[in-house]
Chains A and B, each alone.
Chain A
Amino acid sequence: MRRLLIGLTFAVFIVLLIIPLGRIVIGAFEDGAGGFLDGLLRPEALHALMMTGLVVLVVTLLNTLFGVMMAIYLVRAGWLSDRVKGLLNSIVDLPYAVSPVIGGLMIVLLLGPNSIMGAFFEGIGFNVVYAFPGMVIATLFVTFPLMVREVMPVLQELGSQQEEAASTLGAYGWRTFWSVTWPSIRWAVVYGLVLTVARSLGEFGAVLVVSGNIMNKTQTATTLVYQDVENFNVAAANGVALVLVTFSVGLLLMMEWAKKRKEVH
């Protein structure tokens, strides 16, 4: 029975994950190494990769900062009533339930050219939808819960006693955070960070809607892959996809490494 189950498990992994990965590698080099590079060095491809990089950078920075703060407030804040905290806590999970396309739609409805706020921004020359800011906001929405949900359980388990001890010894907010809280949540934050990077790298639906997928302007690596597939330019699609896969696998390794460090203490 045991052998059967182990064998089946291996089979599932191979069929579902390993073979498809291999297929992308093969597909990327279908036209040889030259073909691979051609597809990759297209100006639109380079631009798309750069856009992806920028979005990932901005989103990760913002959501790390605000996510950690949110987690602290949800667990420790004495100035929020328990009921408010419970409500906010449930709201944090909402992006998980929202389909990415709907996420993009929400941003377009709220900040698109036909909306109040969107028209206002456009008036002052600041385009939100179909431009970089909109893409960032859409990705922020989708990745927000990741950091918060990683840090909260660690804070809960830590308990507030060490922080109280620090306060009796004269330490105020920032000092206490840096000396006592941060060393304990460090690895959870790293793990959350890796998750956020992976998710923003791979974000597709929301960005597709919000950016308008304008080549060389608002196209990201994932929407470029989509465009290539729709145009039957499979080798090029594979090339870009391979780059993404490489990053993903790298991120996966970092995830596993950070996970282990997280559980040590």
Chain B
Amino acid sequence: MHVEVRDLNKHFGDFHAVKDVSFDIAKGHLIGLLGPSGGGKTSILRMLAGLENPGSGEIRFHGKVVNHLPPQERGIGFVFQNYALFKHMTVFDNIAFGLKVKKTPKAQIRDRVMELVELTGLKGFEQRYPHQLSGGQRQRVAFARALAPEPQLLLLDEPFAAIDAKIRQELRSWLRELIERVGITSIFVTHDQDEAIEVADEIMIISQGRLEQKGTPWDIYKNPETPFVATFIGESTVVEDASQLKGFEHAVEGERTRALIRPEYIEIGLKNEFSMLSATEKGIVKHLHFRGSEWMVEVEVEGHKLITYRSLEKTTLQVGQQIRVLVHRAYLFNDTHSWVVENRLKEDPMPVII
């Protein structure tokens, strides 16, 4: 289902929750709305569902304006954060609800519900009540219930927020498979980066009511369009004055150019591990944390603390040890724009005279 949103705005009293948001979603795609809490993601989702009315702006499904349609008529399925299962109905009745409302014949209801029960792995639980199910099972009932009436658009509001961390992983991959199998256009809201990156085809980063960037997880990661996006995704350190970094002195523009350095942009090691030694700076190891599959290293360079990872295969470092640090690239940004820059010294290595 083609979803088009133009200039969406929403105020709650004086609070401007959603500011001029516009985007398009192609049929069959799985989109994640990612951003910090209170940023407006859930408001956008609810407006798509018809559970809130936009202050201004247009929402189109398949080219048709749906602003004034109530949720009952939009052909959507909605999965709530706290499942919102009907407490007084069995699993079967919960899933069948949407079909009963449409006055589907009993036999068809039965078939469809059983199909979904199989699909969601709830076989045998049809006659149970919600309070007799675990959190993960309840969430699956919520999915089945939303999918039963064959909606055109599936909306999920932080579907895994209330689930135990262990089960979350399983449910994530299960959800992705399910949605691919059913082929339904889906939009889900989350504040968990890993979840968005793992599950979604495309991510929309929403912060303070604005759409910061829309793109595949890889695009967003490699080419952040705004400083917020750059700092939000992945771990990074911000250096206040980029010109202080070796190899980036001439890359700065204007005043106050800051540098965002991701762990993967940095290489550290002993002198003999580098081929372009002249591009490196001196650094001191401040902290070491064992992370199970690698070391996390905090390095101090010219008064800046940088974070990076070191493979277990290489020689283990010690705290206080003097090492060499090579910053391969940095994401630079000032007040007007941002860009990614490679370390100049890598390109024009100065001849080293030993």
B51 interface neighbour in A167, A171, A175, A265, Cβ under 8 Å: A167
B78 interface neighbour in A164, A172, A179, Cβ under 8 Å: A164
Interchain CB contact under 8 A, B88 and A168 = no
**A169 contacts the other chain (Cβ, under 8 Å)?**
yes
A167-B71 contact given A162-B84, A162-B87, CB 8 Å threshold: yes
A168 to B, closest residue via Cβ: B78
Interface majority SS on A: helix, strand, loop or mixed? Answer: helix
Interchain CB contact under 8 A, B76 and A168 = yes
Interchain CB contact under 8 A, B84 and A161 = yes
Count of residues in A whose CB is under 8 Å from the partner chain: 17
**A170 contacts the other chain (Cβ, under 8 Å)?**
yes
How does the 8 Å CB contact mask read for A141-164 relative to B, with 1 for contact and 0 for none?
Answer: 000000000000000000001101
Count of residues in B whose CB is under 8 Å from the partner chain: 24
**B72 contacts the other chain (Cβ, under 8 Å)?**
yes
Interchain CB contact under 8 A, B80 and A161 = yes
Which of A162, A164, A165, A184 has the most CB atoms of chain B within a 10 A radius of its CB? A165
**A180 contacts the other chain (Cβ, under 8 Å)?**
yes
Interchain CB contact under 8 A, B87 and A169 = no
Docked CA distance A161–B71 (Å):
13
Nearest CB of B to A168, in Å: 4
**A25 contacts the other chain (Cβ, under 8 Å)?**
no
Nearest CB of A to B116, in Å: 13
Q: Which residues on the A side are within 8 Å of B70 (C-beta)?
A: 167
**B146 contacts the other chain (Cβ, under 8 Å)?**
yes
A183-B84 contact given A170-B98, A171-B101, CB 8 Å threshold: no
A171 interface neighbour in B88, B97, B145, B146, Cβ under 8 Å: B97
Interchain CB contact under 8 A, B88 and A184 = yes
How does the 8 Å CB contact mask read for A161-204 relative to B, with 1 for contact and 0 for none?
Answer: 11011111111100100011001100000000000000000000
Interchain CB contact under 8 A, B84 and A167 = no
Interchain CB contact under 8 A, B102 and A170 = yes
Interchain CB contact under 8 A, B84 and A169 = no
B101 to A, closest residue via Cβ: A170
Docked CA distance A58–B219 (Å):
70
Other than the given A161-B84, A171-B101, 12 more pairs (CB < 8 A) read: A164-B71, A165-B84, A167-B51, A167-B70, A168-B49, A168-B76, A169-B101, A169-B145, A170-B149, A171-B97, A179-B89, A265-B87
